[in-house]
């Protein structure tokens, strides 16, 4: 089973703080990396789908970078707001698994206090 690691497992920040999370994946077999946001009582929603080394994607205050050679992706949130409180999941699919299914990390749970 391929391993996708996320860190930290959880964190608590104050409103206005900027923060970032890490997702690590097997670098030798990369095909695509997804980020999802999962708010309580809702469905996970896709934030970013990244396929190219050096990719940087942005949606509002949230951005992500991708390094396929070393096998990691960072998710950044600038100026955290209480509505950013959620679990952030990264998911990986390897080239040998293309056409199968995403493998998810355990997630990073963010709590933002006002």
Partner 1 sequence: DVKVTQSSRYLVKRTGEKVFLECVQDMDHENMFWYRQDPGLGLRLIYFSYDVKMKEKGDIPEGYSVSREKKERFSLILESASTNQTSMYLCARSQQGMTFVNGYTFGSGTRLTVV
List residues binding partner 1 (CB under 8 A): 1, 31-32, 34, 36, 42-46, 49, 51, 89, 91, 93, 99-107
User: Measured between alpha carbons, how far is 70 from 101 in angstroms, rounded to an integer?
Assistant: 22
In DSSP terms, which residues pair with 86 in a beta bridge?
110
Listed residue (113, 80, 103) closest to 23, CA to CA: 103
Cβ closest to partner 1, residue 60 vs residue 99: 99
Closest distance to partner 1 from the beta carbon of 108 (Å): 11
Closest distance to partner 1 from the beta carbon of 40 (Å): 11
Element containing residue 3 per DSSP (H, E): none
Cβ closest to partner 1, residue 42 vs residue 60: 42
Cβ closest to partner 1, residue 6 vs residue 19: 6
Residue 110 near residue 40, CB atoms below 8 Å: no
Cβ closest to partner 1, residue 2 vs residue 12: 2
Closest distance to partner 1 from the beta carbon of 96 (Å): 14
Listed residue (74, 33, 35) closest to 52, CA to CA: 33
User: Measured between alpha carbons, how far is 93 from 42 in angstroms, rounded to an integer?
Assistant: 24
Closest distance to partner 1 from the beta carbon of 81 (Å): 23
């Amino acid at each position: 089973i391929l391993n996708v690691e996320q860190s930290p497992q959880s964190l608590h920040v104050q409103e206005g703080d900027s923060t970032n999370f890490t997702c690590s994946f097997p670098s030798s077999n990369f095909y695509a990396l997804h980020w999802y946001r999962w708010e309580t009582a809702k469905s996970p929603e896709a934030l970013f789908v990244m396929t190219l080394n050096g990719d940087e994607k942005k949606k509002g205050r949230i951005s992500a970078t991708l390094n396929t050679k070393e096998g990691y992706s960072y998710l950044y949130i600038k100026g955290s707001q209480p509505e950013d409180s959620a679990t952030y999941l990264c998911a990986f699919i390897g080239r040998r698994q293309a056409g199968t299914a995403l493998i998810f990390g355990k997630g990073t749970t963010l709590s933002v206090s006002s």
